[in-house]
Every structure is written in C-alpha cells, then in structure tokens.
C-alpha cells in the first residue's frame, strides 16, 4: 500500500479524530465514504451520522457511492468481501461477525427513518433555523433566496446606488 492510500485508510478510521483537507480530485469523497461505511460497520446508528458538503452534486455523489458500496457488499462472495473490508482497513479476522454486519448495512441504511443525512451545509443550516426560529430570531416561514433572485437583488442595489446621492462613491469604487 502506497503512502497516500495508507493516509486515506488512516483518515477513514472511525476511532480517530480526523481533519480532512485536500485539493479537488484527491480522494476526499472516497475517504469520507470509507469513513461512513466503517462507522456503520462499527454499529454507529445511521441516524447519528451527519455528512455535510458544499454542493448538492457532492452530497448526491457521496450518497450514491455509499449506497453502491453497501449494495455490493450485500452481494459479494465471502472472499471478495473480506478483501474489500481488509482494503478498507478492517481487521476481519478479529471480528467474526463483520461479514454478516457488512451484508446487512444496505438494508439498514435504506430503512433508516429520514435516510442517511448527507446534505449541503445550506440544507443543514436551513433545517436548524426552521427547527429553532425563535432562538435564531428568524421568521418561521422564511425562505432561502435563489441564486437568480440574489443576482437580481444585487443589480437593483447597484442601480439604486448609482442613481442615489452617493453615486460618486460607487463610480470611485
């Protein structure tokens, strides 16, 4: 196993605290997916796992990879499943029931009320604000602004500034 792969296996260890920061395309989603799979293998309830991403595409990709892997584990012959779990960093010999647990994870994840929580930071924050509007001092029926509306609001604000009494400040800017 090369150094980079070893570092990824270490980062996916659910018993270790990890801060993961890397360039695009370097394997962050793989490491996070590995870590979630290992957390599930170590019997962490799916509803206690929260994965936050920056984009909807990243959240979808992570969820697809995780469910694909768990689905494959349910169907792999023993020898191939042992190889996959070992490659993930699991000590298969020390855990006699790990194959059975691995095979049941797909059904367990699918049956989790509310599903696995793999979402964007925006979606998570919105859910928290909706759950605690009084504490956050926001209207309970607030709505997030869409990107197009935000762009239109910026244009209107700049137009107002350009035509207002401080137009010179904007032109100097």
Q: What are phi and psi of 51, to 5 degrees?
A: -115, 125
133-170 pLDDT tens trace: 999 999 988 888 888 988 999 999 888 888 888 778 77
Q: Are residues 160 and 99 in the same domain?
A: no
pLDDT at 83: 94
Q: Are residues 155 and 128 in the same domain?
A: no
Does 99 score more than 80 pLDDT? Answer: yes
CATH number at residue 119: 3.40.50.300
pLDDT at 126: 92
Do the beta carbons of residue 56 and residue 120 sit within 8 Å? yes
Number of domains within the chain: 2
pLDDT at 167: 78
Q: Residue 162 sits in which domain range?
A: 145-173
Q: Are residues 138 and 164 in the same domain?
A: no
Q: Are residues 169 and 137 in the same domain?
A: no
Measured distance CA(60)–CA(37) in Å, rounded: 16
Q: Are residues 138 and 154 in the same domain?
A: no
pLDDT at 62: 92
Q: What is the CA radius of gyration of the chain?
A: 23
Measured distance CA(152)–CA(111) in Å, rounded: 42
Give CA 149 to chain center in angstroms. 27
Does 84 score more than 90 pLDDT? Answer: yes
Strands in 14-173 per DSSP E:
50-53, 117-120
Measured distance CA(104)–CA(113) in Å, rounded: 16
Measured distance CA(69)–CA(55) in Å, rounded: 21
Q: Are residues 110 and 133 in the same domain?
A: yes
16-67 pLDDT tens trace: 888 888 888 888 888 999 999 999 999 998 889 999 988 899 899 999 999 9
Q: Which residue has the higher pLDDT, 124 or 16?
A: 124
């Amino acid at each position: 196993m090369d150094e980079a792969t070893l570092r990824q296996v270490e980062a996916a260890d659910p018993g270790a605290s990890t801060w993961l920061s890397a360039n695009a395309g370097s394997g962050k989603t793989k490491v996070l997916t590995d870590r979630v799979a290992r957390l599930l293998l170590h019997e962490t309830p799916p509803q206690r796992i929260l994965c936050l991403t920056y984009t909807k595409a990243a959240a979808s990709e992570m969820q697809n990879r995780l469910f694909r892997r768990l689905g494959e584990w349910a169907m792999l012959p023993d020898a191939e499943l042992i190889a996959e779990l070992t490659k993930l960093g699991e000590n298969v010999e020390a855990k006699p029931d790990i194959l059975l647990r691995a095979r049941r994870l797909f059904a367990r994840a699918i049956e989790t009320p509310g599903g696995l929580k793999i979402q964007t930071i925006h979606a998570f924050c919105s859910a928290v604000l909706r759950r605690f509007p009084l504490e956050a001092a926001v209207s309970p029926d607030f709505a997030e602004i869409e990107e197009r509306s935000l762009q239109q609001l910026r244009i209107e604000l700049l137009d107002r500034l350009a035509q207002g009494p401080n137009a010179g400040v904007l032109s100097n800017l």
